[in-house]
Structure 1
Amino acid sequence: MRSLFALLLLALSFSSCTSTTESTGIDAVLSFYGGKVVYSSGVVASTADELQGRFYELKLSGVAPKMKQYFASLQLPASNCAYLFYHALSPEEKTRYSFIRITIAETASNDTYEFPIQDLAKAERAMLQADNLLNYMRTGDYAHVVAKGSLLATSAQEWQKAKSLFTAIDKEYGRVQAFSLQGFAISHQNLAKSGTMEFVRLAGVLVREKQSTDFTFALLPTTTLQGNYLYGFVFSKRENQ
């Protein structure tokens, strides 16, 4: 039996007072998925093997059937909900919480997912990298895209081969216009040259002129925009490749 030192959970109705940025984050989730949101905040401090500290919870209802049409697991859309909320917070608020909890009601078990603030910060940095790549992808400048490819992932020759793939898909489905994030995951891989590498998978959709395509970036969030931060990519929308 775990020993609970402190547990504070303050349930709030949706009409209760929140900060402007918190309200913006909640509105972003509602705009993306629809349904209803009930939010709460609290503090967990225990000896159990679970995330500790101050948290913010969003409990979504009326969205599970829609999510299950596109995702076998709700982990990915739940991560997107957490990211949409986190991204709207002020810098001070981003340091106020230890994790964001997302509960999706109307499932057999009321699925609950928790996302550490550190992981959300990594996803946000990775989105800056993805936005930088999109500047080139919108104009079909894939030479600059593959130039950001990390040599820890594959050789320069292999990165150069990717240009023809991007160009062929543009020709069939139309030029890239935007990237719609559907969720993220933190991944680790043990490399012979550098040991264990941590990267962020951003799974989503490339919005195109003719027909949108699923796409996932694998990015190294600790690398600057001037460096080689592209670890990989795949034309699908999955948490694990």
Structure 2
Amino acid sequence: MKLKQTILLFGLTAFITSCAEKREGEQKTTLLSNFLSITDNEDKGVKEILDFYGGQCKYAVGASASTTSGKSKYFELEMSQSEAIERYSKIPQMPASNVAYLFYKNLKDEKNNYDEIHTVLKLNDGDEMTFKYPIEQLDIVACRMQTVEKVVELIKSKQFHEIKTLLNDTSVANYYKNELVTNLENIDSQLGELQMFLPYGFRINETEEGKRYLHISGAIFRDKQNHEFSADFDLDRAKEELLMIGYKL
């Protein structure tokens, strides 16, 4: 049985940290909530999700049915009434994966307490979807996210030549990384000074041969024009090696 506690927070703008007005019943305690306590780090994770997406978040701790390796323990995050998530209703995997990642990256020792992070999306049309993310998978994403942040910092400091050393343009997608980086540099002044990067989600694709590829999506905010940013990784290669990076204006 899952014990749930509800926090309400409504963002003023999507995907940007915002303030919110309290609604009646916000953080209302119940008899069940007396049996469920979360750590400061878990609480930070829940609050970061609410700052990012707004809406309502219910959290719970549960265990799946017994398997050959025993019960699988998970932390569940149920999102509803979020305008930001509604915008991605046709590709719900994106906000679902980001909810799990935003929570996970705030954990420290708590990572050892769970086998999975579950994201439940309850949309306004009545659809409800559950996505499950093993801790090991989120570990991989967090590791590769460091490389994404490194690339963003290189773009911000206009060290475009350093990006070339991270790109592999011959393994899966054949292109010219020199040309790619030159294009990024040429368009930089048109877009303006880079202010911050926000992740929007990830997906891992596996081929029939067992090759795994990670795609990370996000947005770069600038003082002239914001744009989408993506990065692709071969998970069988070094963590700092990128298959491709891209902008969508």
Q: What is the TM-score when the length of structure 1 is the normalising length?
A: 0.80
SS at match of 1:180: strand
Residue 54 of structure 1: CA displacement? 0.5
Match of 2:76 in 1: 57
Partner Cα separation in structure 1 for residue 245 and residue 46 of structure 2 = 30
Match of 2:189 in 1: 171
How many percent of aligned residue pairs carry the same amino acid?
24
For 1:131-154, what per-residue CA distance to the aligned partner results, in whole angstroms no more than 9, with x for missing partners?
Answer: 111221112221111211124245
Residue 116 of structure 1: CA displacement? 1.4
Partner Cα separation in structure 2 for residue 114 and residue 169 of structure 1 = 38
Partner Cα separation in structure 1 for residue 88 and residue 63 of structure 2 = 33
Which shifted more, 214-223 or 54-63?
214-223
Within 5 Å, give how 1:1-241 maps onto structure 2.
9-14=1-6, 15=29, 16=33, 17-46=37-66, 53-63=72-82, 65-70=83-88, 72-90=90-108, 92-106=109-123, 107-150=125-168, 151-154=170-173, 158-188=176-206, 196-220=210-234, 229-236=241-248
Partner Cα separation in structure 2 for residue 149 and residue 231 of structure 1 = 6
SS at match of 1:88: coil
Partner Cα separation in structure 1 for residue 101 and residue 59 of structure 2 = 15
For 1:137-191, what per-residue CA distance to the aligned partner results, in whole angstroms no more than 9, with x for missing partners?
Answer: 1122211112111242456x7111112210232122113332110001112358x
Paired residues of 2:88 and 2:94 also in contact (CA < 8 A) = no
Paired residues of 1:204 and 1:215 also in contact (CA < 8 A) = yes
Paired residues of 2:167 and 2:241 also in contact (CA < 8 A) = yes
What is the one-letter code of the residue matched to 2:72?
Answer: G
Match of 1:6 in 2: none
What is the one-letter code of the residue matched to 1:167?
Answer: E
Paired residues of 1:21 and 1:89 also in contact (CA < 8 A) = yes
Unaligned runs of 5+ in 1: 1-8
**Aligned CA-pair RMSD:** 2.5
Partner Cα separation in structure 2 for residue 172 and residue 74 of structure 1 = 32
Paired residues of 1:126 and 1:220 also in contact (CA < 8 A) = no
Partner Cα separation in structure 2 for residue 13 and residue 67 of structure 1 = 21
Partner Cα separation in structure 1 for residue 198 and residue 55 of structure 2 = 19
Unaligned runs of 5+ in 2: 7-28
Paired residues of 1:183 and 1:202 also in contact (CA < 8 A) = yes
What is the one-letter code of the residue matched to 2:225?
Answer: Q
Against the structure 1 CA distance between its residues 141 and 197, is the aligned structure 2 distance closer, same or farther, given a 3 Å change threshold? farther
SS at match of 2:2: strand
Number of residue-to-residue matches in the alignment: 217
Residue 93 of structure 1: CA displacement? 1.4
